Structure 1
Amino acid sequence: MTHFYTRSEQIQGIIKGLNLTKTLYVSSIIIGPEFTGKKSLAKSVFPTAPLVSGENQEEIKTALANSDELIITNFEKIKNQSELDFTNKRIIATANYIGNAALIDDLFAFIYTMPPLSQRDKDVAYLKELYIEDAKSTLMIETNSIDTEHIPLDLSLNNKSLKRSVYTYLIKHTMESEDIQEILYYYLLKKLEGNDDYRKYLGLYEKPLIKAGLEKFGSQLKLSEVLGINRNTLRKKIHEHNIDQEL
């Protein structure tokens, strides 16, 4: 069974509305951006309903002929929407955008709007903790020594980018030197082509070293002593890598 996780009052209102239609032959559509959980929500409320995509016209035609209850995803991709007949059907559709608003009004008794995660602070906090636990289990890592409170969260692609940002952060903060060396090895194996590549890729090592040192020690003088290089050389490297503009 598909689970849908939410702490949003607005989303809980959508779930309540869908539950009320379980015994009625009426159709509903959930409209919102990609990766906001529309399909998971529909499957969690109607777990036994067949699921088809608007990208497959023939599959939709067959499913409508054989089922009284149906989930249709990517509804906006259906080319022959005006030919659809939902009479005596319980259709739960999802779409990334409205398309033909008048036709949507004719086909669906209930139209719900799924807001992006950027407007669902409670869900972001809740999903973040779920993804942290999921990452710990999947990657077999401990997070006790990692600051998970200040993970920079990417909400540009909603659930997809949120999960990715949590996983990426935890992977970065649990890497050992051997892991970093192996990543660099495969990256350079793909990129090396000649033409002064030593100088070209030296920044892969120098830039993070200097940035981390400046953040940790707070001064160029102290960092030059720690790294064992001349202060003028350090200042030149900072300028070459535009580090002074980024901190």
Structure 2
Amino acid sequence: MALQQVLVVDDEESLRWVLAKALGRHGLQVDLADCAAAALDRLQHKTYDLALLDIKMPDRSGLELLDDIRQQWPQLPVIIMTAESSMKNAIEAMKRGAYDYITKPFDLDMLEALLLKAQELVRTRHEVERLQSAVKEQQRSERTLIGTSQPMQEVYKLLGRVAASDITVLITGESGTGKELVARAVHQNSNRLGQPFVALNCAAIPRELLESELFGFEKGAFTGAAERKIGKFEQASGGTIFLDEIGDMPLELQAKLLRVLQEREISRMGGNRAIPIDVRIVAATNQDLQQRVATREFREDLFYRLNVVPIQLPPLRQRPEDIPLLVDFFIQRANQEFHTHIHGCSAAALQGLQNFTWPGNVRELENTVQRACLLSQNQVLQLSDFPVLRDQSDPVEDDGLETLIANKLRSALLQKEIEEINDLYTMVLEQMERPLLRIVLEKTRGNQLRAAEVLGINRNTLRKKIRLLGLEAGRNDGVTTEPT
């Protein structure tokens, strides 16, 4: 990354003017300040690549300002300027962390040589940051994409086929399935590894701010735009931009995004210059974009531009065999982050976790395991450590009610010898009918006509069953009789 933004701080107006002209000829954007207070205000509102400070200023010395900069912006190279070429000043400036020192009056060629040195320093620091970011991204990607099930194997295969190219990818799936993790995996396995990965959730930003977040704006573009702002597309230069929840993007902005995809250039708000961009676009949504196209809530041409390679993520309920791996990973992470000492999960608890439907998918499972690790008094997590499983009162599968009844019957029969039981069929039917009729009558507020419709039986049949099952005594069950 090249040296771009420079701050010059000097109380001499003529010198500020000369430096602004000289630096501007090298393609640098120069901001000026006439005192330490003005310089600090500039630094609070803008990022600079280099600062040139006069050592003598009306409010505070350049050395004191250098101390502030070293504390708040330690990576900013600072060149000290002074008319006093004393050894004391030179030593003091370097001791306090100045990048270099130059005396007035100085030759502009000497200043240019210093700028070239500073440029190399900035480039080296950005390269170090890039490599550190790449390592962190690689670790994050390796840590979080977990699963050996067949549905996940299909996802991995598709990732392998598309990652190395710059082709646009659209990731779809329910909330919590890990769409951003897949987007990061695409980036990490591409030729753009080490370049920026910039994520933006289109649903989390008000529509009036979304355009400026994506494309940036020029100074004065609107009220409050005091400085130029670089948007996400420019921030992602050379890397990947991940547009999450793309289905929530307003229609008027969809047209501008389509142009970006077609022309590979953007324009900042308030600007009149087209800026070429080199980014890979990965989008994601939990919505049915084809349905939104049909209802004219999403542009058809944009959909086809995004949907070059679709990756459909399976919900967790379709890959329960991955849950033991995920649980183990989340337990290990909790132990590291919260200093807990959980050694695993009991077989019963693990079976319960695999049988649950997980409407919130992997994200919900992670939160559930994390909570259990924090609150459990056991070294091995038990079924009782998971309220989401313990408190289930409704069946979670289509055959859940049948399984529940079977378990109850099995438990009841185990307590009796089979020879002691007579007329079991009638007994079970009566015990099933009584609560069923009571619940339906409660739901219909005792309206027998409506209850009969719900049950799918004749009203006279319902009345007979109410009488035989003792549901009308004292009318405590909310039973009412309609006039015939």
TM, length-normalised to structure 2? 0.32
2:261 pairs, out of 79, 83, 86, with 86
What is the CA-CA distance between 1:92 and the residue it aligns to?
1.0
Q: Which residue does the alignment assign to 2:364?
A: 161
Q: Which residue does the alignment assign to 2:148?
A: 7
Q: Which residue does the alignment assign to 2:167?
A: 26
Residues 15 and 45, structure 1, Cα contact 8 Å, conserved in 2: no
Secondary structure of the structure 2 residue equivalent to 1:167: helix
Q: Which amino acid aligns with 2:169?
A: S
Secondary structure of the structure 2 residue equivalent to 1:17: helix
Give the Cα–Cα distance (whole angstroms) in 2 for the partners of residues 49 and 19 of structure 1: 20
- Residues 1-247 of structure 1: pairs in structure 2 closer than 5 A: 1=137, 2-3=140-141, 4-47=145-188, 48-53=195-200, 54=202, 55=205, 56-61=210-215, 62-64=231-233, 67=237, 69-79=240-250, 80-84=253-257, 85-87=260-262, 90-99=280-289, 100-101=292-293, 102=300, 103-144=302-343, 148-151=346-349, 152-153=352-353, 155-174=358-377
| Structure 2 segments unaligned to the other structure (5+ residues) | 1-136, 189-194, 216-230, 265-278, 294-299, 379-484
- What whole-Å deviation, never above 9, does each CA across 1:126-153 have from its counterpart, x for those lacking one? 1011112222333433345x75333343
Give the Cα–Cα distance (whole angstroms) in 2 for the partners of residues 132 and 19 of structure 1: 29
What is the CA-CA distance between 1:162 and the residue it aligns to?
0.6
| Structure 1 segments unaligned to the other structure (5+ residues) | 176-247
Q: Which residue does the alignment assign to 2:12?
A: none
Secondary structure of the structure 2 residue equivalent to 1:44: helix
Q: Which amino acid aligns with 2:310?
A: I
What is the CA-CA distance between 1:118 and the residue it aligns to?
1.1
Give the Cα–Cα distance (whole angstroms) in 2 for the partners of residues 7 and 163 of structure 1: 18
Residues 51 and 71, structure 1, Cα contact 8 Å, conserved in 2: yes
Count of residues in correspondence between the two structures? 174
Q: Which amino acid aligns with 1:167?
A: Q
Q: Which residue does the alignment assign to 1:184?
A: none
RMSD of the TM alignment (CA)?
2.7
Residues 31 and 96, structure 1, Cα contact 8 Å, conserved in 2: yes
Q: Which residue does the alignment assign to 1:240?
A: none
Q: Which amino acid aligns with 1:126?
A: L
Give the Cα–Cα distance (whole angstroms) in 2 for the partners of residues 147 and 16 of structure 1: 31
TM, length-normalised to structure 1? 0.59
Give the Cα–Cα distance (whole angstroms) in 2 for the partners of residues 140 and 131 of structure 1: 13
Secondary structure of the structure 1 residue equivalent to 2:176: coil
- What whole-Å deviation, never above 9, does each CA across 1:108-129 have from its counterpart, x for those lacking one? 2111211211112232221011
Residues 36 and 115, structure 1, Cα contact 8 Å, conserved in 2: yes
Give the Cα–Cα distance (whole angstroms) in 1 for the partners of residues 176 and 324 of structure 2: 16
Give the Cα–Cα distance (whole angstroms) in 2 for the partners of residues 27 and 135 of structure 1: 35
Give the Cα–Cα distance (whole angstroms) in 2 for the partners of residues 75 and 105 of structure 1: 13
Give the Cα–Cα distance (whole angstroms) in 1 for the partners of residues 337 and 166 of structure 2: 41
Q: Which amino acid aligns with 2:306?
A: L
Q: Which amino acid aligns with 2:307?
A: F
**1:160–1:64 distance in 2 versus 1, CA, 3 Å:** same
- What whole-Å deviation, never above 9, does each CA across 1:158-181 have from its counterpart, x for those lacking one? 122212222333344317xxxxxx
Give the Cα–Cα distance (whole angstroms) in 2 for the partners of residues 31 and 168 of structure 1: 28
Residues 27 and 109, structure 1, Cα contact 8 Å, conserved in 2: yes
Give the Cα–Cα distance (whole angstroms) in 2 for the partners of residues 26 and 45 of structure 1: 10
The structure whose Rg is larger is 2
**1:32–1:11 distance in 2 versus 1, CA, 3 Å:** same
Instruction: Identify the structure with bigger relative contact order (alpha carbons < 8 Å, sequence gap 6+).
Output: 1
